[in-house]
Amino acid sequence: MKKNRYVGLIAVVFMVLTFSSSTFAAQLRMLSAFHENFIFNVGATAKMIQNLEEISGGKMKVAFHGPDVIPTFEQFQPLQAGIFDLSFTHATYHAGTISVGVGMDATLADPTKRRESGLFDFLDKEYNKLGVKLVALPPVAPYHFITRNPLSGNKPSLAGLKMRSNPSLQNTILALGGSPVTMAGGDVYTSLQRGVIDGAAWTLVGVKDFKWQEVANYMVRPTFGSISMMIAMNLDKYNSLPPEQQRWIDEAGKKTELDSLEFFNNLIEEEIAFLQNQGMKVTNMHPEDKEQVEIYWNNGLWDMAKQSSPAAGPKFRELAIEKGMTR
C-alpha cells in the first residue's frame, strides 16, 4: 500500500514538473544597444516586454540588460552565441557581419506592408543563416538636421558644415556637401557648444532628451527617411520553445511594431512643438536638395546594404522595388 502511494506521489510530482516546464517559460534575457530610460527603449523595448507578458498571460518575462553590460557595437555575437536570448539594436550596428538589414530603412515605414510584401520574411531568412531570428522591426521616426546657424540657401545645402553622423547617414551628408563626423549622441551637446561640429543628424525624437536645443538654434527642412529598430532572438533558443511560446513571441513582435509606430508618431508632434517653444526656428535646404534628399538617403542605404551582403542586398532591393516599397 505504501509502495503504491509512493509510486503515485512520484507520478504526481512528475506531472506537475512536466506541466510547469511546458506552461511557464524561463525568463528571457534581452540585451539593448541603449540605456533603459532612452526614448527608443521606452517606445519599443518596453512595449515588447509588456506585450509578451500580456500575451503569454504572465508566463514569459524579459530581463533587460543595457550597453553597460556589452557595448552597443559588440552585441551581435553574444546574441548569436546564445549568451542573450533577445537583442534590441539597429541593423547598422552589425553591418560588418550582415548589412542587408540596413536596406529596410530605405522602405516605407509601414509594418503591415513590410510583412505582407515579404520584406520581413526575406530579412528573417538571411538572419537565420547566422543563427538569429527576426522578431520585430519597430518604426521610430524620420531624420532631420539641426544646426547652430541658418543654412546659406545655396547648393549644396550643407556645404562647409561639419555634421554629426553615423554610417547610414554619411552618403546623405556628403551628397548635401557636408562633412560627416561619426559621433555618439552623448557627445553632441558639448561638440555643438564648442563649435567642434556645426550641426547634427538625428531622428525627430530625441533632441529634447539630449537638450540640444540649448546649443543649436535651427531645424533643417525637409525631414527625410525613417529608421526602424530591430528586435532579434537567438534562433536556437526560439526553436527550442514549444509552438505556443513561439506564437506568443511572434504576436508580441507584430504588436510592438504597431505600438511603436503610434507612440513615436504622437511623440514627434509633441517634440517639434516643444523645440519651437524653446526658440528653435526652421531653416531650409536649397530647392534642388529638397527634391533629392530622399533619393540621397535611399541610395546610401542600398549601397550599404550590399557591403557585407553582396548577394542578398541587391535581391532585397529588387524585392522592395517590385512591391512598391521603395524608390
Tens-level pLDDT at each residue, the chain (327 residues): 444 443 343 333 333 334 444 445 569 999 999 999 989 999 999 999 999 999 999 999 999 999 999 999 999 999 999 999 999 999 999 999 999 999 999 999 999 999 999 999 999 999 999 999 999 999 999 999 999 999 999 999 999 999 999 889 999 999 999 999 998 888 999 999 999 999 999 999 999 989 999 999 999 999 999 999 999 999 999 999 999 999 999 999 999 999 999 999 999 999 999 999 999 999 999 999 999 999 999 999 999 999 999 999 999 999 999 999 997
Is the link from the previous residue into 156 a cis peptide, with omega within 30 of 0? Answer: yes
Cβ distance 290 to 262 under 8 Å? Answer: no
pLDDT of residue 327: 76
As given in the structure block, the three cell numbers for residue 44 are 519599443
pLDDT of residue 167: 87
Q: What does the alpha-carbon distance between residue 189 and residue 299 come to, in Å, rounded to a whole number?
A: 29
SS3 assignment, position 268: helix
Q: What does the alpha-carbon distance between residue 213 and residue 219 come to, in Å, rounded to a whole number?
A: 9
Instruction: Give me the half-sphere count of Cα atoms (radius 13 Å) on the Cβ side of residue 110.
Output: 13
H helices, E strands: number in the chain:
13, 12
- Which secondary structure element, helix H or strand E, spans residue 78, and what is its range? helix 76-80
pLDDT of residue 50: 97
φ/ψ of residue 306, rounded to 5 = -100, 0
Q: Which residues contact 323 (CB under 8 A, 6 or more apart)?
A: 113, 117, 118, 119
Closest C-alpha to 270, from 205, 220, 225: 205
Paired strand residues for 179 = 162
SS3 assignment, position 289: helix
pLDDT of residue 25: 53
As given in the structure block, the three cell numbers for residue 141 are 521616426
Max distance between CA atoms of the chain, in angstroms, equals: 96
Buried b (16+ CB within 10 A) or exposed e, 210-249: bebbebbbbbbeebbbbbbbbbbbbbebbeebeeebeebb
Q: How buried is residue 38: exposed, middle or buried, by Cβ count under 10 Å (0-12/13-18/19+)? A: middle
As given in the structure block, the three cell numbers for residue 7 are 509510486
Question: Residue 46: what residue type?
Answer: A
Cβ distance 52 to 135 under 8 Å? Answer: no
Q: Which domains does the chain have, with CATH numbers?
A: 2-139+227-266 (3.40.190.170), 141-226+271-307 (3.40.190.170)
Q: β-strand 139-147 against 281-284: which pairing, if any?
A: unpaired
SS3 assignment, position 142: strand
